[in-house]
C-alpha cells in the first residue's frame, strides 16, 4: 500500500468540493467559526470582569512561575502550521478539525460560563500576539477551565494522520501543557481535563462528518 493510499491522499480539494455534503459542512462550519470568533472578544471581556474562586493547587504552589511565552508560542504555532499543511493536502482533515474545533469552543464557552475561577497565584501573562487577536487584543486571565491551548493542541494530534506528525503533535501538546503550568497561566485541572474535552469533540465530529479520504 502506498503512502498516499495509507494516509488518504486519494482525494484533493477539487474532488472533495464536488460533494454537496462536503460543501455544506465546510461552509456551515466556517460560518459557525466566524460567529464564534466574533463572540469571543465580548465573552472574554465579560468573564474577565467577574469574580471567581482561587484554587489551592499543590503543583503550582511547588512550581516557581517563569515567563516561557516564547516557547509556548513556538510549539503552538509550529503545530498549527503543520496542521494547515496537512489540511491543504487532505480536505477530510480540514472538515473534521473545523467542526471538532467548533464543538470544542462551544463547550469551552459553557464551562467558562459555569465555572468562575480567578487567576492562579503567580500568573505571568501569556504573550502571544496571534492568539490575543481572538481575545479582542487584550490580556485575559480568567479563561481557565479548561485550557484552550492544551485542548486545541491535543485536538490537532487527533486529527493528524501520519505517524511522525502525531508523534510531534503529542510531544508538543505535553510540552505546551507543562509550560502553561510553569507560567501559572492555568491550574493543573485546566490542563489535565483539556484532552478529554478535545477527545469528545473529535469523536462527535467524526461521527457526523462524512469521510472524504477515499
HEC readout, the chain: CCHHHHCCCCCCHHHHCCCHHHHHHHHHHHHHHHHHHHHHHHHHHHHHHCCCECCCCHHHHHCCCCCCHHHHHHHHHHHHHHHHHHHHHCHHHHHHHHHHHHHHHHHHHHHHHHCCECCCCCCCCCCCCCHHHHHCCCCCCCCCCCCHHHHHHHHHHHHCCCHHHHHHHHHHHHHHHHHHHHCCCCCHHHHHHHHHHHHHHHHHHHHHCCCCCC
Low-confidence ranges of the chain (pLDDT < 70): 1-10, 129-138, 211-214
94 Cβ contact list (under 8 Å, min separation 6): 26, 87
Global pTM value: 0.91
User: How confident is the model at residue 129, as a pLDDT?
Assistant: 66
CA distance 127 to 151: 19
| Extents of the domains making up the chain | 14-208
User: How confident is the model at residue 8, as a pLDDT?
Assistant: 43
133 Cβ contact list (under 8 Å, min separation 6): none
User: How confident is the model at residue 3, as a pLDDT?
Assistant: 39
User: How confident is the model at residue 4, as a pLDDT?
Assistant: 41
- Contact at 8 Å (CB) between 127 and 62? no
User: How confident is the model at residue 41, as a pLDDT?
Assistant: 82
- Contact at 8 Å (CB) between 161 and 90? yes
Amino acid at each position: 500500500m502506498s503512502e498516499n493510499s495509507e494516509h488518504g491522499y486519494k482525494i484533493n480539494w477539487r474532488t472533495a468540493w464536488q460533494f454537496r455534503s462536503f460543501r455544506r459542512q465546510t461552509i456551515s462550519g466556517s460560518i459557525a467559526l466566524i460567529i464564534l470568533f466574533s463572540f469571543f472578544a465580548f465573552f472574554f471581556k465579560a468573564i474577565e470582569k467577574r469574580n471567581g474562586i482561587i484554587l489551592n493547587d499543590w503543583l503550582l504552589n511547588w512550581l516557581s512561575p517563569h515567563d516561557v511565552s516564547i516557547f509556548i508560542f513556538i510549539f503552538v504555532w509550529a503545530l498549527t502550521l503543520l496542521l494547515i499543511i496537512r489540511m491543504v493536502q487532505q480536505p477530510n482533515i480540514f472538515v473534521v478539525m473545523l467542526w471538532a474545533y467548533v464543538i470544542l469552543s462551544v463547550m469551552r464557552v459553557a464551562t467558562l460560563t459555569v465555572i468562575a475561577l480567578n487567576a492562579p497565584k503567580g500568573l505571568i501573562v501569556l504573550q502571544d500576539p496571534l492568539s490575543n487577536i481572538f481575545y479582542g487584543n487584550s490580556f485575559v486571565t480568567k479563561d481557565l477551565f479548561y485550557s484552550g491551548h492544551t485542548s486545541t493542541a491535543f485536538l490537532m494530534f487527533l486529527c493528524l494522520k501520519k505517524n511522525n506528525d502525531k508523534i510531534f503533535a503529542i510531544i508538543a501538546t505535553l510540552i505546551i501543557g507543562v509550560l502553561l503550568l510553569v507560567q501559572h497561566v492555568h491550574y493543573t485541572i485546566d490542563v489535565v481535563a483539556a484532552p478529554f474535552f478535545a477527545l469528545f469533540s473529535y469523536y462527535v465530529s467524526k461521527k457526523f462528518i462524512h469521510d472524504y479520504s477515499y
